[in-house]
């Protein structure tokens, strides 16, 4: 399972611009890359479902109570992103939000939770609505609950 300590040694996203953003975020201790034009990102470390190795990516987030909310959009692709498949297999993850690091438990938002969370996240990043139009899948919303 991925934990907060895995953030430094995890393999980066295969998307170059995401990997570059993630490396800058981690190297700065979270002082760079957390916010851009009012949009906030976190670094998520999951456990590779096939390799067992930690993987990391940067994601836009919102909050709901003490939970952090992320969207498994993959730009509206027809398949879920690898990080989402990984956390389905092992929901314990490492997270960095700004300078704060913690281990969290991930879960998919219930049907009742999804609609207001979707509205909130699309308000933060309006392209999510366009992504939803590009695919037949229901784009998952994930809640990350800090464990420490």
Predicted local confidence at residue 89, as pLDDT: 96
Predicted local confidence at residue 105, as pLDDT: 98
Q: Is 61 helix (H, G, I), strand (E, B) or coil?
A: coil
Predicted local confidence at residue 13, as pLDDT: 84
Q: Is 102 helix (H, G, I), strand (E, B) or coil?
A: strand
Q: Is 142 helix (H, G, I), strand (E, B) or coil?
A: strand
* Helices and strands in the chain, H and E counts: 4, 9
**pLDDT, tens digit (0-9, with 9 covering 90-100), for 76-133:** 999 999 999 999 999 999 999 999 999 999 999 999 999 999 999 999 999 999 999 9
CATH topology of domain 4-146: Pnp Oxidase; Chain A (2.30.110)
Residue 65 Cα distances to 3, 20, 68, angstroms = 21, 30, 8
The domain locations on the chain are 4-146
């Amino acid at each position: 399972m991925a934990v907060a300590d895995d953030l430094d040694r995890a393999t980066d996203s295969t998307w170059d611009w995401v990997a570059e953003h993630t490396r800058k975020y981690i190297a700065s201790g979270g002082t760079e890359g957390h916010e851009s034009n009012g949009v906030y990102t976190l670094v998520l470390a999951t456990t590779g479902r096939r390799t067992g190795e930690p993987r990391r990516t940067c994601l836009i987030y919102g909050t709901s109570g003490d939970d952090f909310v992320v969207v498994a959009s993959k730009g509206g692709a027809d398949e879920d992103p690898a990080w989402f498949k990984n956390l389905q297999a092992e929901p314990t993850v490492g997270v960095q939000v700004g300078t704060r690091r913690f281990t969290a438990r991930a879960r998919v938002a219930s049907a009742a939770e999804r609609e207001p969370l979707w509205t909130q996240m699309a308000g933060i990043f309006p392209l999510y609505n366009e992504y939803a139009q590009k695919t037949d899948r229901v784009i998952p919303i994930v809640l990350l609950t800090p464990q420490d």
